[in-house]
Amino acid sequence: MPTHIATAIAPRLDTVLDTLVLRLDRQEPVLILAFASPEHPLGDVLDGVATRFPGAQVLGASSAGEFTEQREAKGAISLFALAGDFRIETGLGISLTEDPEAAVRSALGESTPDSEYPNETVIMLLDPLTGRGEEATLLAASLLGPSVPLAGGAAGDDLAMTSCQVGIPGRSGSDAVAIARVRSRRPLGLGVAHGHSPLAGPFRVTRASGSVIHELDGKPAFEVWAEATSQDARTRGMDPLLLEADQLGGFLLQYEAGLPNGDEYKVRAPLSKNEDGSLNFACGVAQGAQIHVMQGRPEQQISSAQRAAAAARKDLKDEVAGALVFDCICRNLILGESFNEALAEISKELGGAPLAGFETYGEIALAAGDWSGFHNTTSVVLAFPR
C-alpha cells in the first residue's frame, strides 16, 4: 500500500479540517499530528480532529508558529495526516518535572515488536518549560534501545513562556510528554542541521542548578549575555538592557548558548530571565561547562534547512511521500519573512513533497546509535517513504 500524506493550515479548526479531508482524497489516515497556536485550546483541537477522523491516532502540541509546504502562519492550526501501511500507538505521560522517567514510561506504554512492521520510529512532543527536554529524550532512547530513532519537538506558546502544552484526545496539558510510536515496513529518514556560529566566549558556567544558569565567569548570566550581544543586537534594533519583559524571550532565542562538541556546537536555548539575573534554559547545563553565546545569520538558517532535508532524504533511501518538520522559533525570528524561503528549500530538496510542522522551543533528533538527542536552533526533518 503506498503512503499518502496530506497537510493543511488555517486560522480556524473547522476550515483546517475541511481542507484536510479534501487533500486526503478519500484516504483513511492512521496518524494525525496537530500543531496549534495557544489562541486555540489544544484539547479542543485534538478532540475536534479525533471526532472528524475516528480511525486515526492523534497527537499534538501548542506552538510558536505553524506551517506547511504552502506557507507559515501565526495564530493558526497546521495538520499532518499519514495514510498507509503503518502501525501506530500513542500515549501521554504527566508530571515530567517531578518524575521524568515515569512520565516517559507512561507515554511509551507497553508495546511488543511486530515482525510485519520491523522498523520503529518514535515521535516525541514535550513541555520545554520543565527543563527536562534532554533528560526525557535520553530516557526514551534508553528505554527503546539503540535501534529506534527519535524525532520531535518542544511545544511553544507564541513566546509567552508561560504554558506549553502537549496531548492526545481527551488528555492534554503542560508538564507532560506525548509520544507516537510509528511502526513501518520500511525505515523513515531523519535529518538535522543548525545554522549558528559563535558570537562571544567561551564563558565558564560558575554556578548552575538544574536548567538554571546563575553565573558565568562569576557574573550574573544575563549581565554576561547582554554585554556579549549588545553590539550585534543593536544592528537588529534591540538593546538588551532596555527590553520589555514580553520582548526578552524573543531576544534570548536569537542568541542561544553553544557547548563545544568536537568541531561543532550543541546549541542550548535560554528561555527567560529571573530577577536575580539568572537564565532559565530548555534543559540542564552542567556547572563547570564552557559555553559560547551564538548567533545566526539569515543565509546560514536557509542553508541549514536545506541540509537537514538533504540528510533526511539520504537517510530514507526511498522516494519521499512527505515529511514532518520541527523548526526552532529562533530561526523564524532571524529570518522574518524569509522563513518561507527556508520552507521552500526543504520542500524542493524533498522533491516537492508535502510537509507540515511547527516552530518549537527545542528539537528532538536522535538517529539509531546516536546519543545527541535534544537540540536547539535546528531544523529536524522526518521523511516518510512513498
Do 171 and 209 reside in the same domain of the chain?
A: no
Residue-level pLDDT at 370: 54
CA-based end-to-end distance of the chain: 9
Residue-level pLDDT at 177: 99
| pLDDT surpassing 50 at residue 383 | yes
Residue-level pLDDT at 92: 99
Question: Residue range 46-66: average pLDDT?
Answer: 98
Question: Residue range 304-325: average pLDDT?
Answer: 94
Cell of 243: 527590553
Do 127 and 149 reside in the same domain of the chain?
A: yes
Do 74 and 153 reside in the same domain of the chain?
A: yes
Looking at 233, 266, 295, the residue that finishes a domain is: 295
Do 160 and 67 reside in the same domain of the chain?
A: yes
Question: Is the model more confident about 283 or about 386?
Answer: 386
> pLDDT of 1-19, one tens digit each?
799 999 999 999 999 999 9
Residue-level pLDDT at 195: 77
Residue-level pLDDT at 304: 85
Do 320 and 245 reside in the same domain of the chain?
A: no
**Number of separate domains in the chain:** 2
Do 37 and 111 reside in the same domain of the chain?
A: yes
Question: Residue range 157-183: average pLDDT?
Answer: 97
> SS3 for the chain, per residue?
CCCEEEEEEECCHHHHHHHHHHHHCCCCCCEEEEEECCCCCHHHHHHHHHHHCCCCEEEEEECCCEEECCCEECCCEEEEEEECCEEEEEEEEECCCCCHHHHHHHHHCCCCCCCCCCEEEEEEEECHHHCEHHHHHHHHHHHHCCCCCEEEEECCCCCCCCCCCEEECCEEECCEEEEEEEEECCCCEEEEEECEEEEEEEEEEEEEECCEEEEECCEEHHHHHHHHHHHHHHHCCCCHHHCCHHHHHHHHCCCCEEEEECCEEEEECEEEECCCCCEEECECCCCCCEEEEEEECHHHHHHHHHHHHHHHHHHHCCCEEEEEEEEEHHHHHHHHHHHHHHHHHHHHHCCCCCEEEEEECCEEEECCCCCCCEECCEEEEEEEEC
CA 268 to chain centre: 13
How many CB atoms neighbour CB 302 within 10 A?
23
The C-alpha cell 541549514 sits at 304
Do 46 and 58 reside in the same domain of the chain?
A: yes
Question: Residue range 287-303: average pLDDT?
Answer: 86
Whole-number average pLDDT of the chain: 92
Q: 111-115, 146-150, 154-158, 263-267 — which is least confidently predicted?
A: 263-267
Model confidence at 371, pLDDT cuts 50, 70, 90, reads: very low
Residue-level pLDDT at 230: 92
Model confidence at 372, pLDDT cuts 50, 70, 90, reads: low
- Per the structure, the complete domain to which residue 265 belongs is given by 195-295
Do 326 and 246 reside in the same domain of the chain?
A: no
Question: Residue range 50-62: average pLDDT?
Answer: 98
Do 102 and 40 reside in the same domain of the chain?
A: yes
Question: Residue range 294-303: average pLDDT?
Answer: 81
Q: 103-107, 243-247, 346-350 — which is least confidently predicted?
A: 243-247
> pLDDT of 13-37, one tens digit each?
999 999 999 999 999 999 999 999 9
Do 88 and 49 reside in the same domain of the chain?
A: yes
